[in-house]
Structure 1
Amino acid sequence: MSDIVRFEVIDRVGVITLNRPDKLNALDDAMHPALDEAWVAAHTDPSARAIVLTGAGRGFCAGADLTRLDRFAASRGSDFDLPAPGVAGAAYRGLGLDPDLATTYTFPLATPKPVIGAINGACIGIAFAIAMTCDVRFASTTARFGAAFPQRGIHAEAGIAWLLPRIVGRTLAADLLMSGRVIGADEALRIGMVSRIEEPDALLDAAIGYAREIAINSAPQAVAIIKQQLFDGCTESFGDAARKAHDLLLERFASDDFVEGIASFREKRPPRFADL
């Protein structure tokens, strides 16, 4: 695996680190396939029950590298090299995932594993979109979030105009996307964009510790179902969601995980849940 995107498993947690700290981890041409490879590694590694995404150094990701944007501007976008949603990229073929979601920028929505974003600094442009696809986001006190799309003459990318209103509400989403203004960690916490703020030196450990608690104490199959319920609930009626939850409950009652969950609780021991 390329060193510009690192992947390692720490105590049942797959940690993906964007690793161009001298460029605030801006996504250049080489980082895209490297991130694809890391997403697939985290998704397919059975020892990783949860995933943490972070950046090396003092930035999470400053968005697209300017050399990449310069190339697109010079060619008027004719050499844009990423497949459209619905067209599975080479890295994701054969995984059985939704091709609308299994992309470089939206893979956290595609994998059934929980993905926690550890936003340790600048999170701008397409990185802002990637961060919003994570299931949970922690931020350091130095984190800064900004869409930046309209300042570059483009619209909201990668489905962020669909996703962000479901995180912070339509009015705040319109504010952030149309103005492109940069907000800090305190405002991000206040509007519900992040769940927790940590000091920079404590952020990654906090995110890994949180992910580990899910990996150790929550049944992976149940977590995967919950993640799908949350996504489906964005577009389905309450009645449909309730009926689906009822049918799923009957299935889970018949599962070994349910028996194990009750037994481990009664016996006051860690559960031994099945992997995905």
Structure 2
Amino acid sequence: MAYEHIKYAVEDKIARITLNRPDRMNAWTATMEREVRLAMESAAGDDDVRAILLTGEGRAFCAGADMEELAELDPNDIRAEEWMRPFDMNRRPDWQTRYSFYPAIEKPIVAMLNGAAAGIGLVHALYCDIRFSADNAAFSTSFARRGLIAEHGLSWMLPLLVGHANALELLLSARKFHAPEAYRMGLVNRIYPPEELEEATMAYLRDLVDMVSPRAMGVIKRQQYEVPFQTLAEATITANHEMALSVQSEDFKEGVAHFIEKRAPRFTGR
């Protein structure tokens, strides 16, 4: 389909979703929301896609909501019901809300934070599985400085990554902070000079799609996002069940075979 506020392309088993309003620092719009959801659905359902990249065009990842749209916001119409429908009925309701569907996608989603990520832009970065950042990128929760609260599950996701104390401080102050601090807190996984960011991110993604079982990645991702709702016993029982299934899979047989034969793997996801 033709997109207005994003770009979407698939190459070498990697789906690349690019927020594409560089003249507005990729400010978030209702159109962008709809298009990102459709692109994520497309990537999730495409057997030729094994990993997803989310990034921004130009000097920002996403500097937050488009202020012109916010100024015209109807307070009686903030739910976007069309996009509240479940992404995957087999997953828990926690991953079915307006933006929290990323964890329901059983493919790794890597955010390449090429620049500023604030407000709703930071929310989307946090719902990705892995975050690589330019070392000069700036971040802010933003909401409190607009008279708003911690929106769209940010109050749950942020402390999961950086801890309660750090999350509360960042949410209350809504101050600007930069990539090195974000890295120290665990908000981003790696930081790189801007000129090295894309090469490093793409190398990581290519390693995932070429060397790792798609089936294993899907199960591991599902395990990790279930853990906050489980006891240790429940997580262990789930793991034992999944282990019994994995040793019967074609990917397990291939994982052993390519190691013994000292060749590149040919995983199928089955």
Aligned residue for 1:88? 85
Q: What is the count of residue pairs matched by the alignment?
A: 269
Match of 2:159 in 1: 165
By how many angstroms is 1:101 displaced? 2.5
1:233 to 227, 241, 248: 227
**Structure 1 274/103 Cα, relative in aligned 2: closer, same or farther at 3 Å?**
farther
Matched, 1:145 2:139: yes
Residue 266 of structure 2: aligned partner: 272
C-alpha distance in 2, partners of 1:104/1:162?
Answer: 14
Cα distance change of structure 1 residues 3 and 267 upon mapping to structure 2, 3 Å threshold:
farther
Matched-pair identity in %: 37
Q: 1:155 aligns with which of 149, 153, 171?
A: 149
Q: Is the 8 A contact 1:46 1:275 kept in 2?
A: no
Match in the other structure for 2:58: 57
Q: Compute the displacement of 1:27 (Å).
A: 1.0
In structure 2, relative to structure 1, the CA distance for the partners of 1:103 and 1:215 (3 Å cut) is farther
Distance 1:267 1:3, change over 3 A: farther
Structure 2, unaligned runs of 5 or more: none
Residue ranges of structure 1 left out of the alignment (5+ in a row) = none
Alignment of 1:3-42 (within 5 A): 3-42=4-43
**TM-score with structure 2 setting the length:** 0.93
Shift in Å, 1:274: 1.8
Which residue identity is paired with 1:79? D
Amino acid at match of 2:259: F
- Return the offset for 1:102: 4.5
AA in 1 matched with 2:120: I
- Partner SS state of residue 264, structure 1: helix
Which aligned pairs between 1:74-223 and structure 2 lie closer than 5 A? 75=74, 77-80=75-78, 82-83=80-81, 87-88=84-85, 92=87, 100-102=94-96, 105-223=99-217
Give the distance between the partners of 2:38 and 2:259, measured in 1 at CA. Answer: 38
TM-score by length of 1: 0.91
3-state SS, counterpart of residue 95 of structure 2? coil
SS of the equivalent of 1:30 reads helix
AA partner of residue 177 (structure 2): I
Shift of 1:142: 2.1
CA–CA distance in structure 2, aligned partners of residues 170 and 146 of structure 1: 16
Q: What is the rounded CA distance, in whole Å, between the counterparts of 2:197 and 2:43 in structure 1?
A: 20
SS class of match (1:234)? helix
Residue 275 of structure 1 deviates from its aligned partner by 3.1
Shift of 1:97: 5.8
Task: State how far apart, in whole Å, the 2-side matches of 1:38 and 1:250 are.
Answer: 34
User: CA shift at 1:178, angstroms?
Assistant: 1.3
- Please list every run of at least 4 consecutive aligned residues from structure 1 whose deviation after the TM superposition is greater than 6 angstroms: none
